[in-house]
Chains A and B, each alone.
Chain A
Amino acid sequence: MNAGINYTALGVLVALFVLVTVMGFWASNWRRGEHLESLDEWGLGGRTFGVWITWFLIGGDIYTAYTFVAVPAAMFATGAVAGFFAVPYTIILYPIIFIYMARLWSVSYRHGYVTSADFVRGRYGSRELSLAVSVTGILATMPYIALQLVGIQAVLEVVGVGGAGSFIAKALPLIIAFALLAAYTHSAGLRAPAMIAFVKDTLIYIVILAAIVYLPAQGVPLNLTPEKALTHNAPTPGKFAAAAGWNVGFVLNGTPPKAPAFGRLLAWDPVKQKEAWRVEHVAPWNGGTLTTAGNLVFQGTAEGRFVAYNATTGEKLWESPTGTGVVAAASTYMLDGEQYVSIAVGWGGVFGISQRVTELQSPGTVYTFAVGGKAPLPTFVKYQTEGLLKGVKYDPKDVDEGTAIYVAACAQCHGVPGVDKGGNVRNLGYVSTETIANLKDFVFKGPFRDQGMPDFTGKLKEEDIPKLQAFIQGTADAIRPKSN
């Protein structure tokens, strides 16, 4: 997190802070009344703010650290719907205050009340009640001020100031900022926040425009938030791939893609700077291309075909099955006047670990083709996706906990049991009952360690195994067609 000082951000912050501070001190002379020392002047700006200034002041008061820190944090922690109460609440506030605020204003104006405590004292003649209202007001404001301080602290940390080190180093920028805020508010009263509200509201509009126009226009499907509490390889339940070492100190805030994953071969005309033709594939993760002087384009596909296209039009001229998905590009060469095209077929890569598109799983093979070639293709091996796992005993109560552990330790490579087909790594919904029943022997110092499966010793505990078994068998049972 603490990657040093961000000088651009710090420069913007300091410039705005200087502007606001100068305005704050200058505000004590703004629309100055005759009785400078009265509480009316200090606390209510001489009651001379019209609709326009009040509009800005209320805007600046409502949309604060509460809007930008507290509500988004609550929504991040508990879900968007849970945090959305702030919207209807802020809306219906207006018809409600419409009814009594105008009345409160005119009564207070006539009697010279400044605070709600003055109003209560005037109405009920009770000094105690008035004091209780004052004290309640002060106490109720405390957590709000604390939130402002947290907000300022967060801003300072983002620009790289006051984030670490001793308590003094951490708190000093905050103390300076708050002392200046307090000083100009003391000298200018409500005039300072009213004047600064113009700056603040302008900044809020910039933030809104950035949030709803600039950021979405960046088209970022996945953003990363630094994760302060990271422990490398910690098998945090529910955190995707955490136990498999795929945690890099960032939280992936992924948004699901709007369109399903697709694959296509696209021919680009570099002179016209536009597409010449395209071929849609059934899946992503297809092979690289080979383009020849004879005006051909060769490509292998994820679903196990090797295809030649007319390079000008994209018309398919020839194809051969390959028995497995193709990731590599082909190559071509001439030997004794004979032209050959060779392709290394075989499935793999990040996508290929847990996903497949073919129903075949022939081994990785190099095929060489020539015009007039007569060698027959081998018999292809069918991939086992029949026989959904059954018969592993489990306690349904363990499924929830098992889900979180599976997500952290297994899902990255094994996919969702019975739902995904399995790639180079088997899908656990289609392995033998004995395999899952003896899951412990595979997870701890298991036989697949030399093929790349991590040893989960020290990351998972023995009592996690029945929970994993509950999730794997439970999921297979849940997706099993009812008629079987």
Chain B
Amino acid sequence: VGSRQIDVGTTNKPLMAAAAVLLLIPNVGLLWVGSYARVEPVVAGFPFFIWYQFAWVFLCSACTATALRLIRLARPRRAGGAR
């Protein structure tokens, strides 16, 4: 189902794996609640539980943005390919 597009050049597998890891990191960091369910260290009055999660807003953006760049490097542009 669906017309497969023809790759122009081969996919760089290590780069793709690196991108997959980058996408996995935020999931582990946030779903493993036990690792951050604590008060110390408090930063600017915010318990660790709060600021740790908020920090992931920026860390996760960095992860997805880097993953996007890696994937574009790993897979040379496809004709008509969506991004």
Contact = CB atoms under 8 A, between A and B. Distances in A.
A123 interface: yes
Interface string B42-83: 000000011001101100110110011000000000001111
Nearest to B20: A99
Contacts of A102: 82-83
Contacts of A123: 1
A402 to B, nearest CB: 29
B10 interface: no
A272 B25 CA distance: 59
A88 B64 contact: no
A98 B83 CA distance: 10
A84 B60 CA distance: 17
A398 to B, nearest CB: 32
B21 to A, nearest CB: 11
A131 interface: no
Interface residues of A, number: 21
Determine which residue in B54, B60, B81 has the highest number of CB atoms from chain A within 10 A of its CB, and name it: B60
Contact of B2 (A98, A99, A110): A110
Given A95-B27, A102-B83, A106-B81, A81 B49 contact: yes
The SS class assigned to the A binding surface is helix
Interface in A76-95: 80-81, 84, 87-88, 91-92, 94-95
Given A94-B64, A98-B67, A110-B2, A88 B53 contact: yes
Interface of A: 80-81, 84, 87-88, 91-92, 94-96, 98-99, 102, 105-107, 109-111, 122-123
Given A87-B57, A94-B26, A122-B1, 8 more contacts: A88-B56, A91-B56, A92-B26, A95-B23, A95-B26, A95-B60, A95-B64, A99-B23
The 4 A-B residue pairs with the shortest CB-CB distance, nearest first, are: A106-B82, A88-B30, A95-B23, A91-B60
15 contacts: A84-B53, A87-B54, A88-B53, A88-B56, A91-B26, A91-B53, A91-B56, A92-B30, A95-B26, A95-B60, A95-B67, A98-B67, A102-B82, A105-B82, A109-B82
